[in-house]
C-alpha cells in the first residue's frame, strides 16, 4: 500500500509497480562492486558507495529521474556514489535487467568519479552495450 485511506483518495492507493525484495537489490549492488573490484581494484579505494530508495525530491532534473548520483570528495568525506533503488527497479523488467542496470549505473558513476574508462571497469561488457 502506498497511502492509507484519506480525504483525497478516499481509499488506499496501491503501488503501480511492486518492488523486488530489497535483499536482491543489495545483492545486485554487491555483485557490481565485486566485479568492478576485480577489474580495477584501485577504482574503489577513495569511494563511498551507498543505496537510497529515491533521489532527493528537492533537486530538479532535466529529463528522467536519475538512477545514481555522485558527490565529489571534500576535506572530510570520500567521493560518495549513491544508487537509487526504486528508479532502477522501475526501469528493469526482470531480475536480469535489474542486475545489469544496477551494474551499468555504478560503472558509469565510478568512471565519472575516478576518470577510469568504462571499458577498464567493465572489461567483460556486463553492461550489455
Residue 109 belongs to domain with CATH number: 3.30.2010.20
What is the predicted pLDDT for the residue at 126?
82
DSSP H or E stretch at residue 59: none
Q: Which domain holds residue 75?
A: 23-54+66-121
Judged against a pLDDT cut of 90, whether residue 20 lies above it is answered with no
As for how many domains the chain has, the answer is 1
Say which residue the cell 545489469 belongs to: 100
Strands 68-71, 79-84: parallel, antiparallel or unpaired by DSSP?
antiparallel
The answer to whether position 93 is within a domain reads yes
Judged against a pLDDT cut of 70, whether residue 111 lies above it is answered with yes
Average pLDDT over residues 4-11: 52
The answer to whether position 36 is within a domain reads yes
Asked whether 47 and 110 are in contact (CB, 8 A), the reply is yes
Burial of 18 (0-12, 13-18, 19+ CB in 10 A): exposed
Instruction: Please calculate the CA angle 72-25-43 and round it to the nearest 5 degrees.
Output: 35
Average pLDDT over residues 57-75: 83
More confident position, 61 or 28:
28
The answer to whether position 16 is within a domain reads no
The answer to whether position 96 is within a domain reads yes
Judged against a pLDDT cut of 90, whether residue 3 lies above it is answered with no
Residue 63, C-alpha cell as written in the block: 529529463
Judged against a pLDDT cut of 90, whether residue 26 lies above it is answered with yes
pTM: 0.79
Average pLDDT over residues 11-34: 76
Amino acid at each position: 500500500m502506498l497511502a492509507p485511506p484519506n480525504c483525497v483518495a478516499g481509499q488506499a492507493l496501491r503501488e503501480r509497480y511492486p518492488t523486488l525484495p530489497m535483499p536482491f537489490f543489495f545483492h545486485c549492488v554487491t555483485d557490481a562492486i565485486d566485479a568492478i573490484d576485480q577489474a580495477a581494484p584501485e577504482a574503489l579505494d577513495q569511494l563511498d558507495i551507498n543505496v537510497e530508495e529515491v533521489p532527493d525530491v528537492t533537486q530538479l532534473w532535466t529529463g528522467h529521474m536519475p538512477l545514481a548520483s555522485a558527490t565529489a570528495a571534500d576535506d572530510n568525506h570520500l567521493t560518495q556514489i549513491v544508487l537509487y533503488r526504486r528508479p532502477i527497479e522501475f526501469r528493469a523488467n526482470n531480475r536480469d535487467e535489474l542486475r545489469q542496470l544496477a551494474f551499468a549505473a555504478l560503472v558509469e558513476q565510478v568512471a565519472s568519479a575516478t576518470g577510469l574508462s568504462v571499458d577498464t571497469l567493465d572489461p567483460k561488457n556486463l553492461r550489455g552495450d
